[in-house]
A and B are shown apart, each in its own frame.
Chain A
Amino acid sequence: MTCKHAQELLSDYIDGDVAAALSVSFENHIAECADCRHDLSGIRTVWEQLHQIPAIDTPMYFHENIMRRIDKQIMESEVKADVRSKSFDWRSLFRPRSLAYAAGVLVIVLGGSGVMNTTRAGFGLWPWNNRASIVDIELKKSSSAQIMFDTKGGANLIVHMQAATLPNNKSVELHYSLNIKGSTTILLQGSVTSESEIMLPVHLYDVSDKTFTLEANLSYKDPEGHETKHKQTVPVISVPFNSNSGNTNPVTP
């Protein structure tokens, strides 16, 4: 056996993966050749040393940070999908895909005066039936926010917005800045038009026994450049979801 051949077999030999016949000629070579013998023992040592490497622990909030990035990804793709299809199908939100991680559905609707109605709906109730009007002159009547609790103590908040049209039926563009304040503050900014509704999903961590508020700052610039501002604050009081109440069987629309 040549040194080259023996070198190729080193790892396999340690693995016990060399056929008996070949193994004999490999061992004969090792017995004669100091270089290859040296390599064999070296690899054996390295093998043992490598198995002594301790596993290190993941940093704090490692899992949470990963899921935050995933949520951002989900949010971006849903917003993109929403922009693409102007006729957004409401029911898709409540199809099993979403239902599977929602232990309950809470619809929060903001009254024109800033007073909020909360409606807790179990599965099978279509929340849009419970939507009273939000809003004000600036946003369309159907603008609202929904909370879907997940089973981990968090919740998914989805804010729906569409700008109202001007009295002459002209479309407008509003700039919005939403502050979702709870244990942490989340800021969402962008613009919304009369043409299509936008949907902003936000994942909230640990909503149990915490109060969240949704503060909406809207501004509108008319063609002359005059700016109108409007601010609205919605208390989002999370109600711990009791899975025993209500129908928990998802109903496919």
Chain B
Amino acid sequence: MIDTDERLLIDRCKLGERTAFDTLIRGYEKRVYNLAYRLSGNYDDANDISIDAFLRVFQAIKLFRGEANFSTWLFRIVTNVYLDRRKRMQNKQHLSLEEYIELEENSVARQIEDPSPTPGVLAETKERHDVLQEAIASLPDYQRAMIVLYHNEGLSYEEIAEVLSLPIGTVKSRLNRARLVMREKLEPHKELF
């Protein structure tokens, strides 16, 4: 179901109205930032990805026809911004497969050193959070995107298929695989959960 208020806001955004856009995005900023953070695994990239994504939304909102939920369309943009950045980064560095894996591990290591933005969270919760984040970060791009969209953003398989432009069967099988990989990663930390 699409919210009528939101529909009206989107119509105003299509006319280039700044305040309407201001209001519209307030309701999505946290989810977009969280999605970007889970995808990229670090706070700086999450910030850049979110800003880029909102800028793209602003430029492209005229093309939003309202066939899908606005959130689905928005998450698609966030995911694409993330995947584009990854591609650009990989092209720039001409990484071999080995280096690529190494980089993945480094990015995980760096991520763990990041200060937690949620002070006051119990140490145990933080550790659990880090272990989960590390496991998510170790997944290949598409699997990671699916895991986050499904489990964090609560998207349905249909919506994920739409966000990632993949057949629904592919979404399901890759999600299955991703969850099994996650299981392997989390097994040694059973005591935390």
Report A's interface with B, CB cutoff 8 A: 7-8, 10-12, 39, 42-43, 45-59, 62-63, 65-67, 69-71, 73-74, 97, 100-101, 150-152
A156 (CB) vs chain B CBs: closest residue: B18
Cβ–Cβ contact B19 & A150, under 8 A: yes
Contact of B179 with A54 in the complex, beta carbons under 8 Å:
no
Interface-located stretch among B46-54, B79-87, B102-110: B46-54
B117 engages A52 (CB within 8 Å): no
Residues from chain A with Cβ under 8 Å of B193 in the complex: 45, 48-49, 52
| CA of A164 to CA of B132, assembled, Å | 65
In chain B, positions 89-130 with a C-beta closer than 8 Å to chain A are 117-118, 121, 125, 128-129
Provide the bound-state CA to CA distance between A152 and B25, in Å.
15
Q: Is the interface of A mostly helix, strand, loop or mixed?
A: helix
Known: A59-B47, A69-B55, A97-B17. A51 touches B151 (CB 8 A): yes
Query: Which residues of A lie under 8 Å from residue B33 when comparing CB positions?
Result: 56, 58-59, 62
A66/B17 contact (C-beta < 8 A), A11-B179, A52-B128 known? no
B64 at the interface (CB under 8 A from A): no
Q: Is the CB of A42 within 8 A of B183?
A: yes
**Which one of B19, B50, B180 lies within 8 Å of A39 (CB-CB)?**
B180
Q: Decide if the interface of chain B is mainly helix, strand, loop or mixed.
A: helix
Q: Do B29 and A45 touch across chains, with their CB atoms under 8 A apart?
A: no
Which chain B residues border A52 with CB–CB below 8 Å?
A: 128, 132, 193
| Residue B30 at the chain A interface, CB threshold 8 Å | yes
User: Residues of A contacting B117 with CB < 8 Å?
Assistant: 56-57, 59
Q: Which residues of B are found within 8 Å of A73, using beta-carbon distances?
A: 55, 58-59
User: For chain B, which range describes its interface: under 10, 10 to 19, 20 to 34, or 35 or more residues?
Assistant: 35 or more
Instruction: Tell me, yes or no, whether B186 is within 8 Å of chain A by CB.
Output: yes
Q: When A11-B172, A100-B12 are in contact, do A67 and B22 touch as well, CB less than 8 Å?
A: yes
Closest chain B residue to A68, Cβ basis: B51
CB-CB contacts of B17-54 with A at 8 A, as 1s and 0s? Answer: 11111100110011001100110000100010011001
Q: Could you say which of A39, A51, A58, A150 contacts B29, with CB atoms under 8 Å apart?
A: A58
Are A43 and B186 neighbours in the complex by a CB distance under 8 Å?
no
B1 beta carbon closer than 8 Å to chain A: no
How far in angstroms is the closest Cβ of chain B from A48?
A: 8
Return the chain B residue nearest A203 by Cβ: B18
* Chain A neighbourhood of B59, CB < 8 A: 73
With A8-B176, A45-B183, A53-B132 given, can you name 10 additional A-B contacts, CB distance below 8 Å?
Answer: A7-B176, A8-B172, A8-B173, A51-B151, A54-B121, A54-B125, A58-B29, A66-B29, A70-B18, A101-B19
B69 within 8 A of A: no
Is B77 in the interface zone, CB < 8 Å from A?
A: no
Chain B residues lying within 8 Å of A51, measured Cβ to Cβ, are 151
In the complex, residue of chain A having the shortest beta-carbon distance to the beta carbon of B53 = A66
**Which residue in chain B gives the minimum CB-CB distance to A150?**
B19
Contacts of B133 in A (CB 8 A): 53
- Rounded to whole angstroms, the CA-CA distance of A57 and B179 in the bound complex is 26
Assess whether A100 is in contact with B176, with CB atoms less than 8 Å apart: no
Contacts A52-B132, A69-B51, A69-B55: A45 and B186 contacting too (C-beta < 8 A)?
A: yes
